[in-house]
Amino acid sequence: MKEINVEIVTPSKSAYSGNAKSVTVPGAAGSFQILFNHAPIISSLDIGVIKIEESDGKLLIFAVSGGTVEVLDNHVLLLVESIETPEEIDIKRAEEAKARAKERLSINYKEKVDVARAEASLNRAINRLKISQKELSK
Amino acid sequence: MVFYALLENYMATLRDIKRRIVGVKNTQQITKAMKMVSAARLRRAQENIINARPYSRKIAEVLSNLLSIEKNLVNPLFEKREVKKVAIVIVTSDRGLCGAFNMNVIREAELTIKSNFAEMNEAGNVLLYCAGKKGVDYFSKRNYKIEGSYPGIFSNLDFSFASKLVADLKEKFINKEVDEVLIVYNAFKSVVQQELKVTKFLPVQTIEQKYEPNSKQIEYIYEPDKATIINSLVPRHLNAQMWTSLLDSYAAELGARMTAMDMATENAKDLIRSLQIKYNKERQAAITTEILEIVSGANALKNA
């Protein structure tokens, strides 16, 4: 069986470690899939979804808010600041964050707004909601 | 009649000593419990440090590799300029009873300010960020400009705190409100030993090659490109650095408290022993007085 070794590390813990058939990551230049014998690559990650197809065929989904991936000798190392499984996503909180970010981006908002930060926050919230809904409809 | 007064006196001191023994024993129980609590927390804190290590190490490694290849990089966080304004992050603890832990950091911070930035401080150009209640308490009462005070962060230490603080510092640095950022903290060396550290946080130090550079020189594909990856790695490297400093300080604090409480428990033990000896002596003296009294009473009767 040709497998790759996958490891996800965050500042507080090792979030995942195991063997997999494939990993799909949200690369900054587009989402891409990593299979056995992938060329060495270092890529930054966007806000999006990581999919891991484990060796027994089980599909794992995680929400990420940016990070870096390094692939070397069939070892995939994902460095991310925050990662959540669909079950871990707090839907209510994500919806609140979405509403808050939208409000901040609306033109009526008087105060000085950090647009980039608000947009990033909106994207994160939308990503979380999308992934949690995907899980529910499964 | 003299004897009665003496006896009363003895009884009074005996009661006093007994009361003191009970008091010291109570204190000893508290210090012992605090030592045990610190030990349990320390174990968890050490685990946190170990868990955080692969992340920060790998980021530093990838970053230093990239920086050694990519020469023409433009990132405002690397910019070195004449230091006119400086921000200092001082990491103390929230609680006391940990020996000289806080005093060491505070003294080091004051020394750094006095020896390097004395004039700037006079002009209000030294901004302090105090993480931990003890530092906030100390510096807010003195002639310092406090830009950020974060008491009570260690009861529930969270990564998002580190990243928020770093975001604030980055903004200040990029807007040229400060030209240098330092962190002063206690690093965890062993349970009984803390190491005071003053590290330069911004501008980003070109990471020394303490991590083995990839000797094979693998030809990586870089997506989207090296500069973009570096620019996305730098903030996360800073976050990780701040985070590990906080974790380090917390573990050091617990270690210091454990040692301090262990010493207090030992001292209480010694104190109880010497009080017990004193009690026994006094008791013996009281008995002797009593016997003396009876004997002399009997003698007086016989002689009458």
Query: What are the pLDDT tens digits along chain A (138 aa)?
Result: 688 999 999 998 888 999 999 999 999 888 999 999 999 999 999 999 999 999 888 999 999 988 999 999 999 999 998 888 888 888 888 888 888 888 878 765 656 667 777 788 888 888 888 888 776 555
In chain A, which residues have their Cβ closer than 8 Å to the Cβ of B219? 40
Domains parsed from chain A with CATH numbers = 4-84 (2.60.15.10), 86-136 (1.20.5)
Name residues 58-77 of chain B within 8 A of A (Cβ): 58-59, 62, 66
Could you read off the pLDDT of B99-155 as tens digits, one per residue? 999 999 999 999 999 999 988 888 889 999 999 999 999 999 998 999 999 999 999
B185 pLDDT higher than 80: yes
Instruction: Give the containing element (helix H, strand E) for A78.
Output: strand A75-80
Q: For A50, which DSSP code?
A: E
Q: Nearest residue on chain B to A11, judged by CA atoms?
A: B52
B86 pLDDT higher than 80: yes
Name residues 11-30 of chain A within 8 A of B (Cβ): 11-14, 27-29
Could you read off the pLDDT of A9-35 as tens digits, one per residue? 999 888 899 999 999 999 988 899 999
- Which of B219, B223, B233 has the CB atom closest to A29's CB atom? B223
- B222 with A42: Cβ contact below 8 A: yes
**Which of B220, B238, B245, B248 to mutate to test binding with chain A, by most A CBs within 10 Å of its CB?**
B220
pLDDT band at B85 (very low <50, low <70, confident <90, very high): very high
Residue type, A122: L
Q: Nearest residue on chain A to B223, judged by CA atoms?
A: A43
CA–CA dist A58, A22 (Å, integer): 11
Contact A131, A86 (CB under 8 A): yes
Whole-complex ipTM: 0.81
CB of B303 within 8 Å of a chain A CB? The answer is no
What is the pLDDT, as a whole number, of residue B219?
81
B209 pLDDT higher than 70: no
State the smallest CA–CA distance between residue A56 and chain B in angstroms: 27
CA–CA dist A97, B24 (Å, integer): 54
State the smallest CA–CA distance between residue B247 and chain A in angstroms: 10
Structural domain that includes position B161:
73-208+218-260
In chain A, which residues have their Cβ closer than 8 Å to the Cβ of B220? 40-42, 70, 72
Contact B135, B108 (CB under 8 A): no
Residue B132 is part of a domain; what is its CATH number? Answer: 3.40.1380.10
Tokens of B33: 């419990």
Residues of B assigned a catalytic role:
98
3-class secondary structure, A63: strand
What is the pLDDT, as a whole number, of residue B18?
93
Virtual CA dihedral for A70, A8, A50, A83, nearest 10 degrees?
-130
Q: Nearest residue on chain A to B56, judged by CA atoms?
A: A11
B1 pLDDT higher than 70: no
Question: Is the peptide bond between B235 and the residue preceding it cis, with omega within 30 degrees of 0?
Answer: no
Number of domains chain B contains: 1
